[in-house]
């Protein structure tokens, strides 16, 4: 693999591990999958043979974004009038949407994954975590295998969260029987995926996370067995927490969700929960003490109209925070760049009700980069410095959109927002998106194939 020399970038967000800083008028040199050097005038020195020099005048170069919560398959149920959050209770919404989810076939999972990851790449995301918990019986067990295939096609760094639901509707869950698995089936398929795909080498493009869907829709033993498998194999763990289910868990188990998961051992430095909007300060302190992280998904908070996640308290208590788009059934896009802006604006809206100050705009970029990398247990992605993975994106700021904003690249995305695709996205040293096109791929053809797969399903 060749390297690139991004010549004379207007600004590069670098981080040597002590926090982000802005370097102006520097070059970025990559070598294979890694960043070789960042500095002034590198283009005037001797470059490794085969290095491609790319003019970067006006470019702001950022570390690639790390998405920490999504459900790719939900891209196939977007923009549907009958699923309007403002007209349905959560229970009514679930009763309508799960039967739709259960009709998807294997090809749908493949093409929905391409759809989601393509949009993410266009908007600067270079590592995608997906929480794939939907295994309709008729669709078979190769759904995550097809997701790895989709990630390969686009050149995306992919973390597969193997989800699953085990508790039947007759025992209080919201899951149609068609989507249920036994704990043994779930654990066995996690183990198969780990054996087949989980790669812990530096710059790994494929990892697996043990991610039972949510405590309210699984037996206790599913979580106990998940902890046992993940700790045995050294994997991260993930699930949904604090999105309205705590009273149900309390009625069932005599304690709210955070205490329940702490008791089961589904907590710690290797664990992160999605959402957490209904948690008390005591629960947040408990999570901070155990090192359990949060994937904050701002867009569903707008849609569902529930409590606004208390990011200021999480920050004050020292919780590890990452950002997520969430599935396209509760955020109809897969644009993590937009989530940086919407997360910041959401906290500003709720600021007067808070005991702690809203974190700085630059912190929201941090959640989507170093924060996300830490939740996924990765030390080789999330920031730009020599030796780190060459995962980055560039914005050409020589546009009217950026007049008057260029003095503060760190706050730009959170405060101003980036209302267009990146000019270039690089993953693992390879340019996968540039000048409005995916490298080596025909976007119109990919979109037509996805629509054709979607058309095979009757809604
Ligand atoms: Zn979710």
Residue 90 has pLDDT above 80, yes or no: no
CA of 241 to the centre of ligand 1 (A): 9
**Each residue of 24-50: b (16+ CB within 10 Å) or e?**
eebbbbbbebbbbbbeeebeeeebeee
CA of 277 to the centre of ligand 1 (A): 13
Q: What is the mean pLDDT of residues 189-203?
A: 98
Residue 297 has pLDDT above 80, yes or no: yes
For 413-437, what is each residue's pLDDT tens digit? Answer: 999 999 999 999 999 999 999 999 9
- Give me the pLDDT at residue 85, please: 78
CA of 336 to the centre of ligand 1 (A): 14
**Are the C-beta atoms of 63 and 81 separated by less than 8 Å?**
no
Compute, in degrees rounded to 10, the torsion defined by CA atoms 200, 203, 204, 207: 80
Residue 150 has pLDDT above 80, yes or no: yes
CA of 330 to the centre of ligand 1 (A): 8
The terminus-to-terminus CA distance of the chain in angstroms comes to 45
Q: Is residue 446 left, alpha or beta, with left meaning phi > 0 and alpha meaning psi from -120 to 50?
A: alpha
CA of 274 to the centre of ligand 1 (A): 7
Structure tokens, 286: 């408990």
Q: What is the mean pLDDT of residues 53-76?
A: 97
CA of 14 to the centre of ligand 1 (A): 31
CA of 25 to the centre of ligand 1 (A): 40
Q: What is the mean pLDDT of residues 268-288?
A: 97
Measured in whole angstroms, the distance separating CA 181 from the mean position of its chain's CA atoms is: 25
Q: Which helix (H) or strand (E) holds 374?
A: helix 372-375
What is the assigned CATH class of domain 65-375?
Answer: alpha beta
The residue with tokens 């090809």 is: 107
Topology of domain 4-64+382-438 in CATH is Urease, subunit C; domain 1 (2.30.40)
Q: Minimum mean pLDDT among 84-88, 298-302, 420-424: which range?
A: 84-88
CA of 278 to the centre of ligand 1 (A): 15
CA of 24 to the centre of ligand 1 (A): 38
CA distance 326 to 1: 34
Residue extents of the structural domains in the chain: 4-64+382-438, 65-375
Helix, strand, coil content of the chain in percent (nearest 5): 40, 20, 40
Residue 192 has pLDDT above 80, yes or no: yes
CA distance 245 to 170: 17
Length of the chain: 459
Residue 305 has pLDDT above 80, yes or no: no
Residue 148 has pLDDT above 90, yes or no: yes
Confidence of residue 398 (pLDDT cuts 50, 70, 90): very high
- Give me the pLDDT at residue 1, please: 63
**Are the C-beta atoms of 61 and 6 separated by less than 8 Å?**
yes
- Give me the pLDDT at residue 170, please: 94
CA of 404 to the centre of ligand 1 (A): 37
Q: What angle do CA 67, 68, 72 make, to 5 degrees?
A: 75
For 159-190, what is each residue's pLDDT tens digit? Answer: 999 999 999 999 999 899 999 999 999 999 99
Residue 117 makes CB contacts below 8 A (sequence gap 6+) with 72, 128, 150, 151, 154, 156, 158, 334
CA of 323 to the centre of ligand 1 (A): 12
CA of 52 to the centre of ligand 1 (A): 40
Structure tokens, 177: 């029987």
- Give me the pLDDT at residue 328, please: 82
CA of 399 to the centre of ligand 1 (A): 36
Confidence of residue 135 (pLDDT cuts 50, 70, 90): very high
For 311-360, what is each residue's pLDDT tens digit? Answer: 999 999 999 999 999 998 888 999 999 999 999 999 999 999 999 999 99
CA of 72 to the centre of ligand 1 (A): 10
């Amino acid at each position: 693999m060749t390297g690139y020399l991004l010549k004379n970038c207007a600004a590069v967000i670098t981080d040597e591990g002590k926090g982000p800083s802005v370097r102006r008028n520097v070059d970025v040199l990559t070598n294979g999958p890694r960043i070789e050097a960042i500095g002034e005038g590198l283009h005037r020195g001797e470059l490794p043979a085969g290095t491609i020099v790319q003019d970067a005048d006006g470019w702001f170069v950022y570390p690639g974004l790390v998405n920490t919560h999504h459900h790719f398959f939900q891209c196939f149920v977007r923009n549907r009038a009958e699923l309007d959050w403002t007209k349905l209770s959560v229970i009514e919404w679930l009763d309508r949407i799960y039967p739709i989810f259960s009709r998807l076939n294997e090809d749908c999972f493949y093409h929905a994954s391409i759809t989601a990851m393509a949009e993410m790449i266009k908007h600067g995301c270079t590592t995608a975590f997906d929480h794939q918990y939907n295994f309709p019986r008729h669709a078979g067990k190769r759904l995550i295998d097809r997701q790895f295939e989709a990630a390969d096609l686009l050149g995306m760094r992919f973390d597969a969260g193997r989800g699953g639901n085990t508790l039947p509707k007759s025992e209080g869950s919201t899951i149609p029987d068609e989507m249920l698995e036994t704990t043994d089936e779930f654990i066995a398929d996690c183990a198969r995926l780990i054996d087949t795909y989980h790669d812990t080498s530096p710059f790994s493009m494929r990892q697996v996370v043990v991610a039972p869907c949510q405590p309210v829709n699984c037996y206790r033993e599913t979580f106990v067995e998940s902890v046992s498998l993940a700790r045995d194999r050294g994997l991260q763990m993930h699930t949904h927490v604090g999105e309205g289910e705590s009273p149900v868990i309390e009625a069932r188990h005599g304690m709210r969700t955070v205490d329940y998961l702490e008791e089961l051992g589904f907590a710690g430095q290797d664990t992160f929960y999605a959402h957490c909007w209904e948690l008390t300060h005591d629960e947040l302190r408990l999570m901070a003490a155990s090192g359990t992280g949060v994937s904050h998904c701002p867009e569903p908070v707008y849609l569902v109209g529930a409590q606004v996640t208390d990011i200021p308290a999480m920050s004050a208590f020292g919780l590890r925070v990452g950002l997520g788009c969430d599935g396209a059934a509760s955020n109809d896009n897969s644009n993590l760049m937009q989530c940086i802006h919407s997360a910041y604006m959401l906290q500003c809206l709720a600021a007067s009700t808070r005991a702690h100050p809203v974190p700085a705009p630059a912190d929201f970029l941090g959640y989507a980069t170093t924060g996300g990398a830490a939740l996924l247990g990765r030390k080789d992605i999330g920031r730009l410095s020599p030796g780190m993975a060459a995962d980055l994106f560039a914005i050409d700021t020589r546009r009217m959109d950026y007049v008057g904003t260029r003095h503060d690249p760190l706050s730009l995305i959170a405060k101003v927002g980036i209302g267009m695709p990146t000019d270039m996205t690089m993953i693992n040293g390879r340019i996968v998106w540039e000048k409005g096109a995916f490298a080596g791929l025909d976007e119109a053809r990919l979109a037509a194939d996805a629509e054709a797969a979607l058309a095979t399903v009757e809604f």
